[in-house]
């Protein structure tokens, strides 16, 4: 079914080019998938002198997916997703142990001319969230709102419009409860190269920020990304698929305004036997 994307997808193409896969720590992940529908992923992250890790198990059966993650602090996160609860919809129940107030129910409904997402916390004073878009896969507009029943106050309200064309995508969003305006744009120069930009203006302080970046496929197995921000930070990424579905990624960032600081560098290795 072709229709508008959920509101959370608005401006995501440009944001992914500018931020996805950048990592300035040491990260390792190993993923395995069995023929029975069971998937297992072990991830380790070394940040400064600290080490974090988790084991994630995903099991799919029919329209149901069960996702369980255990981290190094013995937190157990579980998410159960059921597709086609009724036509064009899905529901997800998630909770985290030992946090007994973390339960949440998410429901999504997709229509050829609309997409609706809702979320409610499963506790005595839940956080309510609702987002919707209307239009089609080329042009759509929408908004989202969050309400905290404990304080009887709105936690967020955002509105935006998105335009998709075969060679570019642009989005304009009014964010931070109407306090900021954000625009993003991504353009496919050719099948191997894309460029993107994201700009924001805050009305209260008249502050303007921007980030620009590029993506280039050197060959079918290697990509290079670059990024520059108004805060003086310059970053680059090199990613190589050295075997099918297994990636090695090197990232580096230099802060031109912190002359005495060393550049940040990171290495990520993702194995999928």
Q: Read off the pLDDT of each residue in 209-215 and give the average, rounded to a whole number.
A: 98
**Least confident window among 98-107, 126-135, 218-227:** 98-107
Say what the pLDDT of residue 34 is.
Answer: 83
Judged against a pLDDT cut of 70, whether residue 1 lies above it is answered with: no
pLDDT in tens, 90-123: 999 999 998 888 999 999 999 999 999 999 999 9
Say what the pLDDT of residue 73 is.
Answer: 87
pLDDT in tens, 137-178: 999 999 999 999 999 999 999 999 999 999 999 999 999 999
Structural domains in the chain plus CATH codes: 7-271 (2.40.160.10)
Coarse DSSP helix, strand, coil percentages of the chain, rounded to the nearest 5 percent? 5, 65, 30
Say what the pLDDT of residue 260 is.
Answer: 84
Q: Read off the pLDDT of each residue in 230-242 and give the average, rounded to a whole number.
A: 96
Structure tokens at 126: 């839940």
C-alpha–C-alpha distance, residues 96 and 94, integer Å: 7
Exposure string (b/e) for 9-37, b if CB count within 10 Å is 16 or more? Answer: bbbbbbbebbeeebbbbebebbbeeeeee
pTM, entire model: 0.90
Q: Read off the pLDDT of each residue in 41-55 and give the average, rounded to a whole number.
A: 92
At which residue do the structure tokens 């998630």 appear?
A: 94
Q: Read off the pLDDT of each residue in 78-99 and give the average, rounded to a whole number.
A: 93
The mean predicted confidence, pLDDT, of the chain is: 94
Say what the pLDDT of residue 85 is.
Answer: 86
Q: Read off the pLDDT of each residue in 172-185 and give the average, rounded to a whole number.
A: 96
Question: 262: which DSSP letter?
Answer: P
Backbone angles phi, psi at 271, to 5 degrees: -110, 135
Q: How far is CA 149 from CA 105, 129, 152, in A?
A: 16, 11, 5
């Amino acid at each position: 079914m072709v229709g508008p994307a959920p509101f959370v997808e608005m401006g995501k193409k440009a944001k992914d080019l500018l931020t996805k896969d950048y990592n300035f720590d040491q990260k390792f992940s190993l993923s395995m998938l069995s023929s029975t529908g069971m998937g297992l992923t072990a991830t380790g992250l070394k940040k400064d002198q600290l080490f974090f890790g988790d084991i994630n198990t995903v099991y799919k059966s029919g329209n149901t997916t069960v996702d369980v993650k255990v981290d190094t602090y013995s937190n157990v996160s579980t998410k159960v997703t059921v597709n086609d609860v009724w036509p064009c919809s899905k529901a997800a129940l998630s909770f985290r142990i030992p946090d007994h107030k973390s339960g949440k129910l998410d429901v999504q409904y997709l229509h050829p001319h609309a997409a609706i997402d809702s979320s409610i916390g499963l506790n005595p004073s839940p956080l309510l969230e609702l987002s919707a878009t209307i239009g089609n896969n080329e042009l759509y507009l929408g908004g989202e709102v969050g309400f905290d029943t404990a304080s009887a106050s709105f936690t967020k309200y955002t509105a935006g419009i998105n335009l998709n064309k075969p060679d570019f995508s642009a989005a304009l969003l009014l964010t931070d409860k109407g306090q900021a305006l954000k625009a993003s744009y991504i353009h496919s120069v050719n099948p191997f190269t894309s460029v993107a930009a994201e700009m924001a203006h805050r009305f209260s302080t008249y502050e303007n920020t921007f980030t620009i970046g590029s993506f280039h496929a050197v060959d079918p197995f290697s990509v290079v990304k670059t990024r520059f921000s108004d805060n003086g930070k310059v970053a680059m990424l090199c990613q190589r698929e050295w075997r099918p579905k297994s990636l090695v990624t090197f990232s580096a960032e230099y802060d031109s305004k912190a002359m005495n600081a060393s550049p940040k560098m990171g290495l990520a290795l993702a194995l999928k036997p």
